[in-house]
């Protein structure tokens, strides 16, 4: 199959692109290489994709004329591109333009393609709100600009499915970690602080937060499982993540155990919109997609520590 993948130079997008290529698909990746975090890290991911035979194009979905820039014969679109996370340095315009406007432009492009590619929207557990422990049919209550705009993007995509304009599905991902994780995310930050003797910024109360920390390759398993099940997945939402919960404190302890080093912490005020608990309810994905994440937190973190040492030490 010929596949278009947005956000290809990002954390999860780059891993998915590699997996799809290894499965024998032709993958064209696009990324706007935003300055949300160090562009050199995205360039590093893009180089790995290029080495694997994947084409990566620099393109901003918000402004580019997609009909002129891209061919119209893709079989599937995997849409990862987004303004992620909860950041005090990001404006509402950042979230709106990257998550809603860019998605609408991509939908319009997909509608104009000759063979109407299957549209896989990559969403987030933040859509559920401060607690994300629910099945997919529970009304969402997002509590951050990120969650609100990702919900809007999801509904833009699924609206076209309901109108029978395109076939589409949306995948809500839970607390993904592993090699290439963004520097602002928990485990890359913890590893960096431990190895470089820096204080880790610990938001007040966050050590008790519960998370479905899910290894990136387990997430990719679920993402690629929709291929060949387009009719079954059309119009559906799926949670993807592990059912195993760990606190942030347990995550810190796991990194300390692997590195055999105590991590210093620096207390910070709590972040507005930060989730107190995520636990992936994957009954639907297990039943319809045969989804079964297996990687333990320690196994995944050992791989992430190795990646960090190989690339940044």
Tell me the residue range of the domain where 104 lies. Answer: 2-174+216-240
Query: Are 88 and 205 contained in the same domain?
Result: no
Round the CA-based radius of gyration of the chain to a whole number and report it: 19
Residue 115 CB partners (closer than 8 Å, separation 6+): 72, 73, 74, 75
Q: Is residue 287 part of a domain?
A: no
In this structure, the answer to whether residues 136 and 249 fall within a common structural domain is no
Domain of 265: which CATH number? Answer: 3.90.25.10
Q: Is 146 a catalytic residue?
A: yes
Q: Judge whether residue 273 has pLDDT over 80.
A: no
Residues 47 and 136 in one domain: yes
Band the pLDDT of 203: cuts 50, 70, 90.
confident
Tell me whether residue 179 is in a domain.
Answer: no
**Contacts of residue 236, Cβ cutoff 8 Å, sequence gap at least 6:** 136, 169, 170, 284, 288
Beta strands at 246-247 and 210-211: parallel, antiparallel or unpaired: antiparallel
Q: How many domains does the chain have?
A: 2
Smallest CA-to-CA distance from 12 within 290, 243, 241, 278 is with 241
Q: Kindly state the average pLDDT of the residues 160-184.
A: 97
Q: Is residue 288 part of a domain?
A: no
pTM for the full model? 0.96
Dihedral sign from CA coordinates of 259, 194, 279, 98: negative
Give residue 86's pLDDT. Answer: 84
For residue 299, what are the contacts with CB-CB under 8 A and spacing of at least 6? 215
> How open is the CA angle 22-27-32, to the nearest 5 degrees?
125
Answer yes or no: do 194 and 104 share one domain: no
What stretch of H or E contains 247? strand 246-247
Token output for 115? 């063979």
**Catalytic hit among 36, 37, 109, 146:** 146
Q: Say yes or no to pLDDT of 271 above 90.
A: no
**Angstrom distance (rounded) from CA 205 to CA 186:** 15
Q: What is the DSSP string of 3-66?
A: EEEESTTSHHHHHHHHHHHHTT-EEEEEE---TTS-HHHHHHHHHHHHHTT-EEEE--TTTS-H
**Does residue 141 sit in the same domain as residue 111?**
yes
The confidence score (pLDDT) of residue 32 equals: 97
Q: Is residue 268 part of a domain?
A: yes
303 and 230 within one domain = no
Whether 257 shows a pLDDT value over 90: the answer reads yes
Tokens representing residue 211 in the block:
């998370």
What pLDDT score was predicted for residue 276?
Answer: 87
Average pLDDT over the chain reads: 96
Reply yes or no on whether the pLDDT at 206 is more than 90: no
Q: Is residue 115 in a domain?
A: yes
CATH assignment of the domain containing 132: 3.40.50.720
**Closest Cα partner for 305 from 201, 177, 212?**
177
Query: φ, ψ for residue 270 (rounded to 5)?
Result: -60, 150
Same domain, residue pair 263 and 159: no
Q: What is the pLDDT of residue 305?
A: 98
């Amino acid at each position: 199959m010929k596949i278009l993948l947005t956000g290809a130079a990002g954390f999860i997008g780059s891993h998915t692109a590699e997996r799809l290529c290894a499965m024998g698909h032709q993958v064209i990746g696009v990324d706007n290489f935003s300055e949300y975090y160090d562009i050199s890290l995205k360039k590093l991911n893009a180089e790995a994709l290029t080495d694997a035979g994947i084409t990566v194009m620099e393109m901003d979905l918000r402004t580019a004329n997609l009909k002129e820039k891209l061919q119209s014969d893709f079989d599937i679109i995997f849409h990862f591109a987004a303004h992620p996370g909860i950041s005090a340095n990001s404006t509402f315009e950042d979230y709106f333009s990257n998550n809603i406007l860019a998605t609408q432009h991509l939908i319009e492009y997909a509608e104009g393609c000759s063979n109407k590619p299957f549209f896989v929207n990559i969403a987030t557990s933040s859509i559920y709100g401060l607690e994300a422990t629910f099945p997919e049919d529970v009304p969402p209550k997002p509590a951050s600009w990120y969650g609100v705009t990702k919900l809007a993007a999801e509904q833009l995509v699924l609206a076209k499915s309901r109108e029978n304009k395109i076939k589409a599905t949306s995948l809500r991902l839970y607390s993904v970690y592993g090699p290439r994780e963004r520097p602002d995310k928990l485990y890359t930050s913890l590893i960096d602080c431990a190895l470089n003797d820096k204080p880790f910024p610990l938001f007040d109360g966050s050590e008790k937060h519960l998370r479905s920390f899910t290894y990136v390759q387990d997430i990719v398993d679920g993402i690629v499982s929709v291929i060949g099940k387009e009719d079954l997945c059309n119009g559906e939402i799926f949670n993807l993540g592990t059912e195993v919960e760990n606190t942030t404190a347990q995550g810190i302890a796991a990194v300390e155990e692997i590195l055999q080093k105590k991590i210093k912490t620096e207390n910070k005020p709590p972040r507005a919109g930060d989730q107190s608990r995520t636990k992936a309810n994957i009954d639907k994905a297990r039943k319809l997609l045969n989804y079964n994440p297996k990687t333990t937190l320690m196994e995944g973190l050992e791989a992430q520590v190795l990646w960090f040492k190989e690339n940044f030490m």
